[in-house]
Amino acid sequence: MSPSLQLIISFVIFLTLLGAGMLVPFAIVVPAAIYLYMQDGFHAFNSLGLVSWGSMDSFTLSSIPLFILMAEVLQKSGLSFRIYRGLSVLVARIPGGLLQTNIAGCAIFSSISGSSIATAASIGSVALPQLTQRNYDRRLSAGSLAAGGTLGILIPPSIAMIVYGTFTETSVAKLFMAGVLPGLLLTAMFMGYIAFQVLLRPSLAPTEVVAQNVKTILGAVVDVVPFAVLIAFIFGSIYTGFATPTEAAAVGCVFGFVICAIWGDLSWSSLSAAMRGTIEIVGNILFIVYAAFIYSYAISFAGIGDDVTAFVVGLHLSKLEFFVALFLLYTLLGCLVESLGMIVITVPLLYPVLAKYGIDPIWFGVVLVIFIEMGQISPPIGINLFVIQSIWDGELGDVVIGTIPFHLLMFLLLGLLVLWPELALFLPTRMS
């Protein structure tokens, strides 16, 4: 049996186990082990000890628990409410009212959390009760929160970019900077769509009446400024080369504790809850990463990477046709596999092909993250759909319908990145 056929069999096993409800790390490890055994029996397992040590002995990966701890502390201390409250005053005059606050709040919180789930859950739990009480359109409300939550993995820091950078040995700092302009552009597109819809159909959102006096504006600024300072420090230190992403995460984590102690409700119970949440999330992420390194080792052991590269190049696809093929692949996977699973299954195979087409790995990292964003709001397993549905009393179908326009805007952003790669590469090429 050829290694290529064995790889196809292992991939089918992966999808079967995933469809049967097996947890993602085990669904990756089991076919990887079977694939290794098909190559050289039990002798193929001899290097697993070194692979296990090498995969987790990573300075880059150590930033993941730090960013997640920072987000969990901010969430558990109730500061997501202050972000929402401050923004609701500052953007009140934009058509859409609190719907605009949803997007802006998700953009700011995503600049701290690095997690799509944490962003959607934090802002959604604060926003949905108020949106329901004020009779905002339910579908547009749910869609704005589910789609806004996806900004958590495009606007840095991004857990998905850290994992991608680890697998491809690409600069995580440059990946972070590459996500800034596309992330801000997507935020503006989301807000522009909401404003356009509300102007066409005013019944979608009631007119917010907020007293715009000096006192309320200053209060709103006080609510938002601490987060702006924290974001500026993280971005600025990475962009100028003053700190690595891991060092920025560590100092940012300390600043996060200070902000929570001054402006939030940082008690022992909230700190304990944040610690527990961090352990659960980090344990899940790093287990997936470890399983993926085993899968990558299996592919390397079989030497299948060269075969895949030769096969794709032998198809004589143009660069545009290759992008279309990637689009179809990730659209399909986005409906079946969760975000990190998409990275760890496809990147080891596709990364060698990028050089043949002259594709910049930094640019591709941003495109890959956008595909993952789309997967997180794609039925039937888009995780943000279930996060929003779980914290309100609406139907899942309403959440799905509400996200469709935002899904289409992500397609538009992908097209812009293909036409103007500088949207992603402008900041990385000018870093210190």
Tokens encoding 51: 């692979």
- Report residue 193's pLDDT band, with 50, 70 and 90 as the boundaries: very high
Whole-number pLDDT of residue 318: 80
Is pLDDT above 90 for 154?
no
Tell whether 16 is covered by a domain. Answer: yes
| Residue written as token pair 């794609």 | 378
pLDDT digits (tens, 9 = 90+) for 13-39: 877 887 777 777 788 788 878 877 777
Q: Which residue range(s) make up the domain with 137?
A: 58-430
Whether residue 70 sits in one domain with residue 18 = no
Same domain, yes or no: 40 and 65: no
- pLDDT at residue 129, as a whole number: 79
CB 60 within 8 A of CB 162: yes
Residue 52 lies in a domain: no
- The conformational region for residue 97 under phi > 0 = left, psi -120 to 50 = alpha, else beta, is left
Q: Are residues 106 and 11 in the same domain?
A: no
Alpha-carbon span 262 to 236, nearest angstrom: 23
User: pLDDT tens digits for 363-375?
Assistant: 999 988 888 888 7
Structure confidence at residue 337 (pLDDT): 64
Residue 175, domain member (yes or no): yes
Tokens of 226: 């601490």
Instruction: Report residue 129 CA to chain centroid gap.
Output: 25
What is the tens place of the pLDDT at every residue in 100-149?
A: 888 888 888 777 766 677 777 777 777 877 787 788 888 888 888 888 88
**23 and 119, same domain (yes or no):** no
The pTM (predicted TM-score) of the whole model is: 0.79
Is the alpha carbon torsion for 202, 191, 148, 213 positive or negative? negative
**Domain check: are 42 and 66 in the same one?**
no
Give the contacts of 371 (CB within 8 A, at least 6 positions apart): 326, 327, 330, 331, 334, 342, 414
pLDDT at 233 over 90: no
Q: Does residue 310 carry a pLDDT above 80?
A: no
C-alpha distances in Å from residue 359, one per residue of 124, 129, 367, 392: 37, 45, 11, 42
Domain co-membership, 12 together with 39: yes
Same domain for 29 and 111, yes or no, is: no
Q: In this model, does residue 349 exceed pLDDT 80?
A: no
H or E element: which one contains 246? Answer: helix 245-263
Q: Looking at residues 265-282, what average pLDDT do you find?
A: 84
Judged against a pLDDT cut of 80, whether residue 163 lies above it is answered with yes
Q: Are residues 214 and 190 in the same domain?
A: yes
Are 210 and 289 part of one and the same domain? yes
And the tokens for 45?
């397992």
191 and 336 in a single domain? The answer is: yes
Lowest-pLDDT range, 39-43, 65-69, 251-255, 424-428? 39-43
Co-location of 218 and 339 in the same domain = yes
**Alpha-carbon separation of residue 26 from 82, 142, 288, 295, 341 (angstroms):** 39, 32, 8, 11, 11
Using 50, 70 and 90 to split pLDDT, how confident is the model at 190? very high
Q: Evaluate whether residue 51 is within a structural domain.
A: no
- The CA–CA distances, whole Å, from 143 to 139, 157, 180, 187 equal 6, 23, 22, 14
Number of domains in the chain: 2
Q: Which of 109, 114, 112, 231 is nearest to 162 (CA)?
A: 114
Gap between the Cα atoms of 388 and 397, Å rounded: 12
Q: Residue 305 pLDDT > 60, yes or no? A: no
Residue 35 and residue 70 in one domain: no
Decide if 6 is inside a domain: yes
Q: Which of 338, 337, 348 is nearest to 302 (CA)?
A: 348
Given pLDDT bands bounded at 50, 70 and 90, which one contains residue 192?
Answer: very high
Domain contains 101: yes
pLDDT category of residue 60 using cuts at 50, 70 and 90: confident
Place of tokens 């009393």: 393
What are the E-state strand segments in 119-185? none
| Residue 199 to residue 202: CA distance in whole angstroms | 6
In a domain, 267, yes or no: yes
Question: Contact, 354 vs 415, CB < 8 A?
Answer: no
**Residue 53 counted as domain residue:** no
The Cα–Cα gap between 296 and 57 comes to: 16
Percent of the chain with pLDDT strictly greater than 90: 6
Cα-based distances in Å from 343 to 47, 76, 148, 162, 372? 23, 29, 21, 11, 8
Dihedral of CA atoms 239, 244, 248, 249 in degrees, nearest 10, equals 130
**What pLDDT band is residue 185 in, cutting at 50, 70 and 90?**
very high
- Dump pLDDT digits (tens) for 361-420: 899 999 888 888 887 787 666 677 777 777 776 677 788 888 889 988 988 998 899 889
Nearest to 275 by CA among 56, 55, 77: 77
